[in-house]
Structure 1
């Protein structure tokens, strides 16, 4: 069991290594911070794209048309069957009369053109009774349409299949691109840690040989380097987290002050940093410490010949 004095020694040695190689340590921290900022930005971008895509998905309705002579009981039966389809977020029944009223509202001053179609059970009303549905996941829209068409009483289904394909492609591209960037930046971070440990081992080779001669174990000699990697990782994670928080809130403020309706719509669907702060802190802390410790453990075994 490690005594308190030994633990204090390891922390002291790890910190001393960082100070002794401060230029390389500064470069390591700077590079790790830059990598974490890029990784964090990629993650936030991915989260917000998915949020905005989800908003667009909710705005794209699927319309299930039913026959004009459907009875109230038949409409209720269809409604009950729709509740059994998992991919349906919610739905609304729209009668022929409601549909024509909505169209007249859209026409504004020209609404008089549709007055002949008003009235309950008006045989001249060309609009059908329908259910308007919002879909949870557009990537499985095709299978959902098949389930809808199988419901007794639904004559046909109108769905934004092209929009669904585009949105699904965007989601896949953002996910794949984000993962690629994260993997590349992690590899760069490991190389930086490796170079730092290599230089530290080289500079302390005489001291290491003396420690070995007086009976120090390999593990005891390696631990200060692991602590060094831990400290480099945690310092980088804290700095990157703070810079990302400030930068992200600044970007949101700029979006909020933009008069464009389109930009304002994007702003309303962005995720506040506070909502993902704990998750991001865990990713940064775990990633920084993981990269630092793993880089130290792996490369100290490679370069430390004890």
Structure 2
């Protein structure tokens, strides 16, 4: 059992070791911060693309047209059936008159031309259906088509499939980047600690010969790697939040469709702030601790 005074002595020694190899320490913290920042950016891209796809999905409604000959009871039954279907998040009824009024609003200067349709409305009443899962749009459209009283179903299946494929590609790419950079980060910390261990290999051998346990030898190097990881985590969180805040604030001035997509679909900074801070610090601590532990292991056998 290690005494508290020994523990604190070895901990302080590990922190002081950062200054003995300050050039490598700075290089390690810088490279680790870059790797972790890229990890955060990849994760943010994945989250925002998913949110963007969900936003676009809420704008691309499936239109279920009712048979012009169906009565009010059948129309109501169609609405109840649609609402009860798994995966349906919203159902809105649009009457024939509502459709006519919509088109009349599009052509206000020629609204008198639409008066002819007041007594002979050619439009079909319909339901505007919003799905919670865009990947199910095609299969759901087939099921909606089979409902009694439905004459046709219009759904942006091809455009939705493009959005879904983009989301899958970004998700796979982001996770691959995170995995690769995490390995690079561990190797980076391990290399720096390994240099420190090599420079003090004789000291480690003497400590082992006089009876120092593996835990006593390992603790200063573990603290050294952990400290570098935490410092890198703080820098990563600061840079990531600063850059992401700039992107979110700049999204409102893009104009046109980009403003619609980026301005409304980007996840607010407040929503990702706790995750970025916790992830950065936790990742830095894990990478620093794991990298230092693996680096010193082979020097413990004396």
Shared fold per TM-score greater than 0.5: yes
**1:279 pairs with 2:275:** yes
The reply on whether 1:195 has 2:191 as its aligned counterpart is yes
Q: Residues 30-71 of structure 1, C-alpha deviation per residue, up to 9 Å, x if partnerless?
A: 011111111111112222222222111111010111111222
Distance 1:281 1:180 in 2: 22
Alignment of 1:244-259 (within 5 A): 244-256=240-252, 258=253
User: Judging changes above 3 Å, is the alpha-carbon distance between structure 1 residues 259 and 285 closer, same or farther for their aligned structure 2 residues?
Assistant: closer
Q: Which residue in 2 is equivalent to 1:299?
A: 295
Give the Cα–Cα distance (whole angstroms) in 1 for the partners of residues 66 and 2 of structure 2: 75
The answer to whether the 8 Å contact 1:48/1:269 transfers is: yes
Inter-CA distance 148–10: structure 2 relative to 1 (3 Å threshold):
farther
**Whole-Å separation in 2 of the counterparts to 1:147 and 1:254:** 42
- Runs of 4 or more above 4 Å deviation: none
For residues 125 and 286 of structure 2, the distance between their equivalents in structure 1, rounded to whole angstroms, comes to 59
In structure 1, C-alpha distance between the alignment counterparts of 2:236 and 2:195, rounded to whole Å: 25
- Counterpart contact for 1:40–1:280, Cα < 8 Å: yes
Query: Whole-Å Cα distance in 1 between the matches of residues 239 and 254 of structure 2?
Result: 27
Shift of 1:29: 0.5
Residues 1:100 and 2:95 aligned together: no
1:77 aligns with 77
- Give the C-alpha shift of residue 112 in structure 1: 2.8
Partner of 2:259: 264
Unaligned runs of 5+ in 2: none
Structure 1 residue 155 corresponds to structure 2 residue 151: yes
Does the Cα contact within 8 Å between 2:201 and 2:299 map onto a contact in 1? no
Cα distance in 1 for residues equivalent to 2:254 and 2:273: 28
Tell me if 1:12 matches 2:12: yes
* Contact preservation (8 Å) 2:46, 2:174: yes
**Counterpart-to-counterpart distance in 2, 1:112 and 1:178:** 55
Note if 1:223 corresponds to 2:224. no
8 Å Cα contact 1:148/1:154 also seen in 2:
yes
C-alpha root-mean-square deviation of aligned residues, in Å?
Answer: 1.7
Q: How does 1:103-252 map to 2 (within 5 A)?
A: 103-118=103-118, 122=119, 124-252=120-248
2:55 aligned with 1:59? no
State the aligned residue count. 301
The CA deviation string for residues 172-208 of structure 1, in whole angstroms up to 9 with x for no partner, is 0110111111112112111111211210111111211
Choose 293-302 or 182-191, whichever is displaced more. Answer: 293-302
* DSSP-derived class of the 1:83 partner: helix
Taking structure 2 as the reference length, the TM-score comes to 0.94
Query: Contact 1:201 / 1:304 at 8 angstroms: preserved in 2?
Result: no
- Runs of 5+ unmatched residues, structure 1: none
Judge conservation of contact 1:33–1:237 (CA < 8 Å) in 2: yes
Give the direction of change, closer, same or farther, for the CA distance of 1:246–1:259 in structure 2 (3 Å limit): closer
Contact 2:66 2:149 in 1 (8 A): yes
Judge which range, 228-237 or 293-302, deviates more: 293-302
Contact 1:194 1:299 in 2 (8 A): yes
Q: Which secondary structure does the structure 2 equivalent of 1:234 belong to? A: helix
Q: Distance in 2 between matches of 1:229 and 1:259?
A: 43
For the residue of structure 1 that corresponds to 2:184, the secondary structure is helix
Q: Distance in 1 between matches of 2:229 and 2:254?
A: 41
